[in-house]
Amino acid sequence: MRIAFLTAPVGVEEIELTAPWKAAEENGWVPQLVSTGPGRVQAFRHFDKAGTYPVDHVLAGDTSDAFDALVLPGGVANPDALRMNARAVGFVRSFFEAGKPVAAICHAPWTLVEADVVRGRTLTSWPSLATDIRNAGGTWVDEEVQVCHAAPATLVTSRKPADLDAFCTVFGREFADSQRSSAARP
């Protein structure tokens, strides 16, 4: 299973990238760092610079075709930049249109709001996004992890870095279920 990890060139919360990445590898999947620009992405620990990570794939009108699932790490600047990039928004939307599972943590649902994929869904996020999610037609809940199986795609969301253990466990289970379902289809 190939998992796209979509980030902007600057501003991803490091632990929200590295912990899910490690979980994907532990499940035997192939994580790929997808960004809107080439080179390396600059991660942060809150407002302090952290490590940099090599980009595996630069968006250029891509859809979800090359990937089986999507993870959207947070950080404040990361999803704010992604939601202003039409290629990134279209890429996110394509996973929902294809019925592929998506996981998003912290501020990452801002990109989901921009992609217009939260309408009729229940999700969680960093609390400051609650009004944005409601205004976009979603239902916001204050839960460690929220799974929404609304058609056509499963969405797993979490609030913050403290929820990462649960987030990684649940998205791992949901992505594996999706993989089994896809393999069982004729």
Residue 4: predicted pLDDT:
98
Other residues' Cβ atoms within 10 Å of the Cβ of residue 174: 20
- Which residues are designated catalytic? 106-107
Sign, Cα dihedral of 14, 150, 4, 57: negative
Residue ranges and CATH numbers for the domains of the chain are 2-180 (3.40.50.880)
Residues of the chain with pLDDT under 70: 184-186
Q: Which residues, at least 6 apart from 74, have a Cβ–Cβ distance to it below 8 Å? A: 12, 13, 16, 104, 105, 106, 107, 108, 126
119, 93 contact by CB (below 8 A): no
76 with 107: CB under 8 angstroms?
A: yes
Q: What is residue 186's predicted lDDT score, i.e. its pLDDT?
A: 58
Ramachandran quadrant class, 2 (left: phi over 0; alpha: psi -120 to 50; beta: rest): beta
Side-chain-side CA neighbours of 106 within 13 Å: the count stands at 24
What does the pLDDT read at residue 184?
Answer: 67
What is the pLDDT, as a whole number, of residue 180? 79
Query: pLDDT tens, 150-182?
Result: 999 999 999 999 999 999 999 999 999 988 777
